[in-house]
Amino acid sequence: MNEEKKIAGIYIRVSTDDQAKEGFSLPEQEKRLRAMCEFKGYEIYKVYKDAGISAKTGNHRPAFEQLKEDIKNKKCNTIVVLKLDRLTRSVYDMEDIMKFLSDNNAYLDCANDDINTTNANGRMVARLLTTVSQNEIERTSERTKIGLAGAIKVGNIPHKAPFGYKHVDKKLVPDEATKDQVIRIFNLYYEGNSYQTISNLYNKEKVFGKTNWCDGTILKIIENEIYKGDFVHGKRTNNPTYYENVVEPLVSKELWEECQVQKKKNSRNYKRDKEYLFLQKLKCPKCGRILGGNATKKKNGNVYYYYQCHTCKISIKETDIEKEFDNFINEIQEYDSVVNQTLLPMIKTKLNNPKNKLVKELNEQKQKFDRIRKAYINGSFTIEEYDNEKEIVDTTIKDLENKIKECDLCNELKFTPEDILIKRDLDYINKIVYPEEYEENTYMWKDYTRSEKTDLIMRYVDYVELEYYSKNKVRLGKVYFRESICKPCNELYDSGYLARTDYAIFGNVVGKLRFSEYLPMEKVSEIIFTLRQYYNVGYFEATYYYDDKVMFFNDYQNRNIVRIFPIEDYKKMDKLEKIQLGVIYIGNDEKTLIDNKEELFTTIPEKTNCVVYELDEETKKRRKEIEKEIEDFKSKSNMKE
């Protein structure tokens, strides 16, 4: 058998550029194997090349299949390869190959591995080397999976960026140019529009210059977990891996989940006939699960809403929750109407500064347009393809330019964070002095439609905890607001430019007061003098004692307190026993100092030049007397901590 003339089929394969760097390039393999055949006296029948294909089980290798056919037809009888792993790295495949060689009286010869399949020892060596090679592949695969999981968890998604996102430094981040249209798709679907209706609307509007929007595209967007910040790797495999909160979401998890529920029920003209104010917001006080909704319609046409935990058998009326929610609703509504609708562009510009991102994206789109133009000149695009691509880019560029103009407009208006504080102070005074006019000029919670209330809670509230306060009776616990929405509000509060309302004990009275954080006295004086353009605003100081948790100041019965704030940076103090507070107030019978009252509700006050506000002599005198008043009060009330 060994004297039989060896007719070689040279098999060469390369899968990656890295192998080429290691000397496994196709020309290099062919050169070395031809030299080996010449040295051993093999006749070369043909060179079989598989380029860019790995030896992984299941991969189709056309050249190798042709080599096997030629062996069956007795055109050659020896497979010549550089290394065994060029042929296979699978023990299972190796057994098939050796059986094939035995059945066809053929052989295998490797240049770099001492393999001779004509005897048992040679076949054993071949099996051992294949086992080692397969083990290397499996270990590499395990390391790759671990590395991939770590990359995904920090936002490095190994896929083409979906609509609404883009890759920046390998991370998936929202695309300022397209993300708004994704959010709009979810909102349109949630409102009851079908995939076809949305795609028809987008085609009619030529969103991004496209007229080929289809219902399948809308469906893929609605189904994609990435838009709620999650990612599923290996969706088409038997063992997909789910990663939560790996990218910045474009829509809330509640909205995404509700769209999936709607999809299951879907009919082409599905419309909501019930709107729950606290949809997917309330947590069971016993098991912590999100409560489901239920509604009953009476003969008089009124609809009554309930929230239930089927596991714990709890049922709560929506009206009971809304009554307790009033305090939170008022705060949300005030923020939404005063800050969000009036000054949100300023907040975004000052705190988030999206202009830099928009300018960068604009430059990228202009570069893309240059590439399209060059491709057309070089003949890579037809005139129709060029026109379609150009229209898409032109639309995106115009949208980005408009957003940049909005940022520039905000800068030209020269808004500052103090404007928010002054505006809210002025509105609070208006509410005290002219309550009827204030309600007429302010869109109050009672004026909201049910849809508007639902939308407001959906946008601002993450979830609500409920708690038992007696047997079988549940009340509102903690309300958790959505961080992405309220972050600007929190930043403004921490820096002293936003007031919050809370309960307080002042003197022997318990009530609610507006508090803000520390600001330098120069800023305080500026705010007071600005407010004095509209009202005779006063200022004095009070003392807050931490042990008794009580504020002490004089003559509060004849004053309406506008806002209280620290005049000392207490966060830098080592020990806190007491702290001096500034108090802005107006008298009980105050009226505006301007002729046109309507300006009070429409104007954004302009700051005035002023000197640092100093205490009057009466307040300085009261400072010396206040300690005695405090001690007298404490001894009479026997107040404990």
- Segment holding 337, helix H or strand E: none
H-helix segments, 241-381: 253-265, 318-334, 341-347, 355-377
Instruction: Find, among 71, 82, 62, 69, the residue nearest to 8 by Cα.
Output: 71
Distance CA 601, CA 597 (A): 8
Q: How far apart are CA 529 and CA 563, in angstroms?
A: 15
The two three-digit tokens of residue 627, written as one number:
């300690």
Catalogue the long-range contacts made by 622-630 (C-beta closer than 8 Å, 24 or more residues apart): 622/540, 622/554, 623/541, 626/543, 626/552, 626/553, 626/554, 629/552, 629/554, 630/543, 630/545, 630/552
Q: What is the 3-state secondary structure (H, E, C) of 342-385?
A: HHHHHHHHHHHCCHHHHHHHHHHHHHHHHHHHHHHHCCCCCHHH
**Two tokens at 69?**
């056919």
Dihedral in degrees, nearest 10, Cα atoms 546, 328, 458, 202: -100
Nearest-angstrom CA–CA distance, 80 and 75: 14
**Nearest residue to 286 via CA among 244, 243, 315:** 315
Residue pair 104/71 in contact (Cβ under 8 Å)? The answer is yes
Beta-strand (E) ranges in 419-483? 461-470, 473-481
541 half-sphere exposure, CB direction, 13 A CA radius: 24
What are the catalytic residues? 15
Q: How far apart are CA 163 and CA 171, in angstroms?
A: 15
Task: Give the C-alpha distances (Å, rounded to integers) separating 344 from 155, 340, 427, 488, 614.
Answer: 28, 5, 17, 9, 33
Hey, what are 604's tokens?
């954004």
Considering only CA atoms, which of 5, 1, 84 is closest in space to residue 41? 5
**Are 475 and 324 within 8 A, CB to CB?**
yes
